[in-house]
């Protein structure tokens, strides 16, 4: 049973999400040192992913620092701190979704190059990234949107008149 965890009031990136981005960053940096095609493809993926990760760490992941408390507790007035992030996320969501598409095709090229060259380590990095981005699109982004809606409703604020509404 997940213990009741009280939100510390800080807009931190939940540790698990931070670790997964850090792990991918480290893997990509290693893959870029490959002197051949794998290195070129990895560089392309890194150029797309690094700013994308930063944006997620700024506007999406911190919203989820409230998730565990919200799952077991109530909306508290100080949770309004996240609302500017929720608005930023709803404004960026379309562009983040597009970035996911562009990243997915670059990752596919990296994966193919890694298979062709028998570079198992780079293939694992690419596959891990592919899964990670898919989990974001299927679970993390919708969860962040839900947290925003739930907090707004709990504080009796009108919904954001953006695509999430």
Question: Closest approach of Cβ 66 to Fe ion, in Å?
Answer: 20
Taking the C-alpha atoms of residue 163 and residue 32, their distance in angstroms, rounded to an integer, is: 37
The answer to whether the CB of 53 falls within 8 A of the CB of 129 is: no
End-to-end CA distance of the chain: 32
The residue sitting closest to Fe ion, measured at its beta carbon, is: 136
Taking the C-alpha atoms of residue 113 and residue 125, their distance in angstroms, rounded to an integer, is: 12
Kindly list the residues in this chain that would bind Fe ion in the complex (CB under 5 A).
133, 136
| Alpha carbon separation from 128 to 27, 77, 134 (Å, rounded) | 10, 38, 10
Question: Closest approach of Cβ 52 to Fe ion, in Å?
Answer: 6
Taking the C-alpha atoms of residue 26 and residue 73, their distance in angstroms, rounded to an integer, is: 36
Question: Closest approach of Cβ 91 to Fe ion, in Å?
Answer: 16
SS3 33: coil
Question: Closest approach of Cβ 152 to Fe ion, in Å?
Answer: 24
């Amino acid at each position: 049973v997940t213990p009741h965890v009280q939100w510390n009031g800080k807009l931190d990136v939940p540790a698990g999400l931070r670790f997964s981005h850090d792990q991918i960053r480290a893997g990509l940096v290693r893959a870029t040192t490959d002197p051949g095609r794998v290195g070129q493809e990895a560089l392309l993926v890194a150029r797309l992913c690094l700013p994308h990760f930063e944006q997620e760490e700024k506007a999406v992941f911190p919203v989820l620092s409230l998730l565990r408390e919200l799952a077991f507790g109530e909306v508290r007035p100080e949770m309004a701190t996240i609302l500017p992030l929720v608005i930023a996320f709803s404004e960026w969501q379309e562009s983040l979704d597009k970035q996911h598409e562009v990243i997915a095709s670059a990752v596919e090229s990296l994966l193919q190059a890694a298979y062709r060259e028998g570079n198992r380590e780079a293939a694992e990095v690419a596959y891990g990234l592919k899964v990670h981005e898919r989990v974001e699109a299927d679970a993390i982004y919708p969860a962040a949107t839900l947290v925003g809606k739930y907090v707004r409703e709990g504080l009796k604020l009108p919904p954001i008149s953006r695509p999430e509404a």
